[in-house]
């Protein structure tokens, strides 16, 4: 969800105003995704690196998160959307953790629609946390070191219950991954758009999906094998 700061700066507004507008885009995009049949949507809302931003911006973002969770609970329930989080949420402020737990518990029974918030998330931190959890399982006799494979290791990532993304969209013209879902994106289609997040709308999401649908996903096979239906 990149470009909130630049959107605000272009208008002579404080950066937080851009994030505020960004929250409205979250609603627009999650509604549009559901209408389009996208069952999982993951938003990179706060990275492990974002703590180093000015204290005022960090506390403003935490406040917006709290506001968003309080405001969206009824809508998530009405639309049967389950909230998940990935990241070290245990380091978030206590009030945000409380709201997250409340919303997660209230939506835990839903299966069809899923909103995943990446909060205090970093792919390298995730890899280290998974390695530690895997090593603990080996030590405790729940895993065997010689059985270590991607399929087994995968179960120790924050995303164990969430399918790999098919499509990544990064807004605001930046063409980097920035420590986001680095292992899970191995075969994802990447789309970079110059549109700033506060201006990203349903038509932009549709355009990205149209572009995704034109691409051939080969997963290491040849085009001929894909056309012949090789699995």
Q: Residue 202: is it exposed, middle or buried by C-beta count within 10 angstroms (0-12/13-18/19+)?
A: middle
- Which residues form the interface with ligand FPP (CB under 6 A)? 1-6, 19, 22-23, 26, 43, 45, 50, 61, 64-65, 68, 117, 172
Strand partners, 189: 167
Burial class of residue 153 in the structure, from the number of CB atoms within 10 Å of its CB (0-12 exposed, 13-18 middle, 19+ buried): middle
CB of 166: closest distance to ligand FPP in angstroms?
21
- When CB distances to ligand FPP are compared, the closest residue is 5
Query: Least separation, in Å, of the C-beta of 8 and ligand FPP?
Result: 8
Identify whether the C-beta of residue 4 lies closer than 8 Å to the C-beta of residue 198.
Answer: yes
* Closest CB to ligand FPP among residues 81, 117: 117
Write out the catalytic residue numbers. 2, 50
Q: Which is nearer to ligand FPP, 76 or 130 (CB)?
A: 76
DSSP H helices, 140-198, are 150-153
Residue 136 CB, nearest approach to ligand FPP (Å): 31
Comparison of 22 and 87: residue with beta carbon closer to ligand FPP: 22
- Contact yes or no for 50/64 (Cβ under 8 A): no
């Amino acid at each position: 969800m990149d470009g909130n700061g630049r959107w605000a700066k272009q208008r002579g507004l404080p950066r937080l105003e851009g994030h505020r507008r960004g929250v409205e885009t979250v609603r627009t995009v999650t509604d549009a995704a559901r209408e389009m049949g996208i069952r999982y949507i993951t938003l990179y809302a706060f990275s492990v690196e974002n703590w180093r931003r000015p204290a005022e911006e960090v506390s403003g973002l935490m406040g917006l998160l709290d506001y968003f969770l309080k405001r969206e609970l009824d809508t998530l329930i009405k639309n049967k959307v389950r909230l998940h989080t990935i990241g070290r949420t245990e380091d978030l402020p206590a009030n945000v953790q409380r709201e997250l737990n409340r919303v997660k518990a209230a939506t835990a029974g839903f299966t069809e629609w899923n909103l995943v918030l990446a909060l205090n998330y970093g792919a390298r931190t995730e890899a280290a946390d998974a390695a530690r959890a895997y090593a603990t399982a080996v030590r405790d006799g729940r895993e065997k070191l010689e059985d270590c494979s991607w399929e087994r290791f995968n179960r120790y990532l924050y995303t164990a219950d969430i399918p790999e993304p098919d499509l990544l969209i990064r807004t605001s013209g930046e063409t980097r991954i920035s420590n986001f879902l680095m292992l899970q994106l191995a075969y994802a289609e990447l789309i970079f758009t110059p549109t700033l997040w506060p201006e990203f709308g349903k038509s932009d999401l549709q355009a990205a999906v149209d572009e995704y649908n034109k691409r051939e996903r080969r997963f290491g096979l040849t085009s001929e094998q894909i056309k012949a239906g090789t699995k």
